Structure 1
Amino acid sequence: MVFYYDFYREKPFTEGDLETIETKMHEIIDRGDPFEREVWARDEAISHYQKIKEPFKVELIEAIPDDESISFYRQGNFLDLCRGPHAPSTKHVGHAFKLMSVAGAYWRGDSSNPMLQRIYGTAWPDEKKLKAYLNMLEEAEKRDHRRLGRELDLFHMQEEAVGSIFWHPRGWSLYREIEAHVRRRLEDGNYKEVKTPQLIDRSLWEASGHWDKFRENMFTADSEDDRTLALKPMNCPGHVQIYKQGLKSYRDLPIRMAEFGSCHRNEPSGALHGIMRVRAFTQDDAHIFCSEDQITSESIIFCDLLRKIYKDFGFEDVRVKFSDRPGVRAGDDETWDRAEEALKNACEAAGLETTLNPGEGAFYGPKLEFVLRDAIGRDWQCGTLQVDFCIA
């Protein structure tokens, strides 16, 4: 289990502070301080945090619905706002934990808010499981792609282009080989490759729903002719525009369209991770325009293609998650009912075993998420299959 706590202080924590804090945590656990629950009136709670100058806690309390109690937990001299429940005492927490790192985190994940310092830790039921986890991290460090990229002269990243990659000749050669293999697989699957613009007027993003649902993750700029343009965060609206050109008959379906599209997303700096989570990336994307009664057959064909590509690269341990409707979404419930039912039927027909990933669908449709397991047992969410009855 990963845990963290956020701090707002003038002097930043360093990695060296973690050992001191961890030692103190072990002392508190050995003391066996009881956790005592208290329920306060809203005004009393707000007044308390205003007096000790903790505006973030005041904001949290003000956001608690009126019909919910405002609970605190006291442990020794420490009092904190918390829903609970807690263990009876600190002795029940155990010593199988370790503080791991310090990172920056914007208050409530909003870059317009103050930057907090976040201390991360990990906790396990016993020392054996903690040791196994730390050993896995050690093995992961040996395989860290950022280290390999530097040592093998494949790529580098720098502050002047945060979240973007400088590919060196060796790395770019590998990249092109991988892209060429995927392209051959797509051609064998009767996909037609296209290329769409990177910079597109906001009117198209408004029509697709991205401006309303995804704008905070988009890079935008105003042009001299008073137009607002945005770098595309994904390829789908562009593919829809190609599909709309000219008359189409049901006899033309399915139309399989693919693109190695250059996309940009304004990811928070704290979420970036080497070449795994970036702001500028190539999305090897495909869209299948088909009739509703072709969804099942096209899904089966696609899943077969995707699993073949994964197998080509040595990934045979593939799990599938079914992500249904999120809270913020386009379209009405009836449309979502149809989309989710179509995808469920496709899974059954393809013989796919799935686990439910509630509320994690795209804003325009449910999706299947294909999760790969690497050499040291870590899971990575990679390809997706999405059903969209909204954008087109």
Structure 2
Amino acid sequence: MIFISKFLPYGKQCIDQEDIDAVADVLSEDFITQGPKITEFEEEIAKYVGAKYGVAFNSGTSALHGAYFALGLDKGDEMITTPNTFVATANAGLYLGAKVNFCDVEKQTGNIDASKLEANENTKLITPVHYSGNPVNLKEIADIAEDNDARIIEDGAHALGAKYNGKKIGSLKYSEMAMFSFHPVKHITTGEGGIIVTNDEEYYERLQLFRSHGITKNNLVNPRDGDWYYEMQHLGFNYRITDIQCALGLSQLKKLDSFVENRRKIAEKYNGMFEDNPYFDVVKENPDGESAYHLYPILLKEKYANHKKEIFSKLRSEGLGVQVHYIPVYLQPYYQNLGFNKGLCPVDEEFYKRELSIPMYPTLTDEDLEFVQEKLYKVFSEY
């Protein structure tokens, strides 16, 4: 049995006593779900990114499902997204019966490649993903969407605090809605959770309806029996988040800017440490944006990419909790059963072959970064 004295995961939450106290406080209040902390959290996130409305959900996945529903995505519609993402980005379209298409990615960033984006009259939705927190080229995608009367919903699961052309992701200059995730490895956490921000009041109302069974007490179809009366007007879901989670989120939000600042400082140090190394390349930041660095991906040079499986295992045994982001979505068996085949997006398949995510979270110390470099170089030098 191998004993590892130190292990650095690729990402983790940063919880302090203030966060713990915030959760404890809400537990002594009257509402621990469907209460005022949810509205407060929604308003504060919307304010932070520069949007009018926010609707919080119990996960980023359910938030995307709600956003696609609010947009009106339905059977017979088509959507385009990137294969370099977690499966939820595409799955949420399948939930509603839409056809999902994939666009290949940029070789150096892993972001959707706008030059390869082929929308048509059947394309209702384009969902770009700000991979690793690095903003996509939204202006180019928006021009294509406009030419084809399509809409954009940003998957910003990695990108809370990131900027594009000086504006925060979520300010919605180029899109209808944006999603952020609050999973523990993200910039702030609610345990599990997600949110959709939008500037459209109709989307806002449909999002609220969808996350709570499709039930409302407003805009009724039938005469009101009494003050207790409600109607289920859509087949919604129980996708509600709790006040307990939102209390944690509000406390975390106070620290978000410092979290992002620390991530960017760590990335800058990594960039300097790894400059001209013989083993791997680093992902380049969009010159029109500021990455929030949810991830710090490295791209193995071909010689080492051919040994990725062994390198991955050895790095973990050395105490580096590396991960791979992501297996191209269409290579999953479920998608292959839908007719997708290997070779669809060759650049992304090559990106997957080469990519490893190394530790990136705000509390990493200079000593930790030296540990990362030492272990990386030790393992790579064996090949």
Same fold (TM over 0.5): no
TM-score norm. by structure 1 comes to 0.26
TM-score norm. by structure 2 comes to 0.26
| Larger strand percent | 1
| Larger RCO, structures 1/2 (Cα 8 Å, 6+ apart) | 2
